[in-house]
Amino acid sequence: MTDRPRIAVIGSGIGGLTLAAALSASGTRCAVFEQAGSLTETGAGVQLAPNAARPLGRLGLQPVLRERGVAVEEIRVYGWTGEMITGTTHGAACEKLYGAPYYAMHRADLQGALLRLVGPGPLRLGHRLKAVSRDGDEVTLAFENGATHRADLVVGADGIHSVVRETLVRDAPVFSGLGVFRGLVPVDRLPSAAREPLIRLWLGPRRHFVCYPVSGGRLMSFAAIAPLAHAGAESWSAAGDPAELVAAFEGWRGLVSDITRAVDGVRRWALYDRPELRTWFSDRLTVLGDAAHPMLPFMAQGANQAVEDAVELAALLAGARRDDIPGLLARYEEARAPRTAAVQKGSRGHTEAMHLPDGPRQRERDHAMSRAAGLTGLRERAWLYGHEAGATAPR
């Protein structure tokens, strides 16, 4: 059909590739432009809650999730001195309540599975976006390699430093005052407890530590959040110093010390946030994932919300004509903006609570968390895990 829209997706991260896969599943074609000249293994772990695992499974990724992911049995929270604060049941109860397990997965395994699903046809590597301009009912994209491309719809899935977002609003990332160490350690270097299918968090003054097994249980992924004196680049490729990681968590109990001392290499970067978007779209342009709502990682929902965005937008665009786009983008914003703003605000709000100094407020927090143990905490996540992206789109 000549009136079907030409769709350009900027960025081949989890959000951009999920959108391309979901569009393809509905018979809608797109081109995906990626600034990197080649796609290499990056990142460490990613947590996939049922609100993302369900739609990814429907796209055909369920075998990969089960083979390469780790179905989490419980999320446990400890104090930095080793005492357990609370544990939230997941496992079979999570799948029964919400239709999918809660998975811990290597980001590269997920991205690779999405790439295989999309196939090489839509991908345009080595295309770093330089400028976006309107030309009547079309959008012209200009890339640093000299190439140009015309589209009826441009979707910015190009991260926290999104060029596409700049066409919607003039704002800037806000440094949180925190940095994150990330890395992977083979589980055979760690005590046997590391093999358990658990997500573990240790909370302490001004910092916290998270770890979980990935890659079918062969590797332990960790994220260690601590104060950072100076804002640096927000880049997954920024190298860190393992000795700084050890020093930042000196004296912490449990697996924390085992992991920090088993690390060969670590990445470290600053954590940034942005204000909520007032508008998600113009007539021919919109954003998703971190380009729309970058989140501090304190609810582990960044990738999950990007998947939801992609599924919602793809469902709205299924069978669409060029003239339908402005109205559909308005519906996309209406469906996504309130929910992502709530998650973004919640993630930001967790910053202080997770990093309280030892004392009365910390003990009050621990007591409140302990009351939501077991299945109670799992049921309280219904607003997150039970959400069905794309359910309101026309069928």
Kindly list the catalytic residues. Answer: 212
Q: How far, in Å, CA of 19 to CA of 14, rounded?
A: 9
Instruction: Give the rounded distance of the alpha carbon of 71 from its chain centre.
Output: 18
The DSSP-derived string for 55-83 is HHIIIIIHHHHHHHSEE--EEEEEETTS-
* Residues 90/72, Cβ–Cβ less than 8 Å: yes
Q: How far, in Å, CA of 379 to CA of 97, rounded?
A: 8
Q: How far, in Å, CA of 24 to CA of 118, rounded?
A: 7
End-to-end CA distance of the chain: 19
* Residues 224/201, Cβ–Cβ less than 8 Å: no
* Residues 143/52, Cβ–Cβ less than 8 Å: no
Query: What size, in residues, is the chain?
Result: 395
Give the tokens for residue 263.
């690390």
Q: How far, in Å, CA of 303 to CA of 3, rounded?
A: 32
User: Count of CB atoms within 10 A of residue 171's CB?
Assistant: 12
Q: Which of 6, 13, 75 is nearest to 290 (CA)?
A: 13
Burial class of residue 385, CB neighbours in 10 A (0-12, 13-18, 19+): buried
Block residue for tokens 């960025």: 11
User: Count of CB atoms within 10 A of residue 286's CB?
Assistant: 28
* Residues 225/236, Cβ–Cβ less than 8 Å: no
In Å, how far are 32, 146, 388 from 130, measured between CA atoms? 15, 9, 35
The tally of CA atoms less than 13 A away on the side-chain side of residue 348 is 17
